[in-house]
Chains A and B, each alone.
Chain A
Amino acid sequence: KAGVTQTPRYLIKTRGQQVTLSCSPISGHRSVSWYQQTPGQGLQFLFEYFSETQRNKGNFPGRFSGRQFSNSRSEMNVSTLELGDSALYLCASSLGGYPYEQYFGPGTRLTVT
Chain B
Amino acid sequence: QKEVEQNSGPLSVPEGAIASLNCTYSDRGSQSFFWYRQYSGKSPELIMSIYSNGDKEDGRFTAQLNKASQYVSLLIRDSQPSDSATYLCAAPEAAGYNQGGKLIFGQGTELSVKP
Contacts and interface: CB of A to CB of B under 8 A. Distances in A.
B105 A48 contact: no
A64 interface: no
A96 B46 contact: no
Contacts, number: 67
Contacts of A106: 42-43
Interface in B35-55: 36, 42-46, 49, 51
Contacts of B98: 50, 55-56
For the complex, would chain B's binding face be called helix, strand, loop or mixed by DSSP majority? loop
A107 B101 CA distance: 18
Interface in A2-48: 31, 33, 42-43, 45, 48
Contacts of B46: 101-104
Contacts of A56: 93, 98-99, 101-102
Contacts of A61: none
Contacts of B107: 42
Contacts of B102: 33, 45, 48, 56, 58
A21 to B, nearest CB: 13
A48 B31 contact: no
A105 interface: yes
A84 interface: no
Contacts of B108: 42
Interface string A99-113: 111111111000000
Given A42-B108, A43-B88, A104 B45 contact: yes
A90 interface: yes
Interface of B: 31-32, 34, 36, 42-46, 49, 51, 88, 92-93, 95, 98-108
Given A42-B107, A96-B101, 12 more contacts: A33-B102, A33-B103, A43-B44, A56-B102, A90-B44, A98-B31, A98-B100, A99-B51, A101-B34, A101-B46, A102-B46, A102-B103
Interface of A: 31, 33, 42-43, 45, 48, 50, 55-56, 58, 88, 90, 92, 94, 96-107
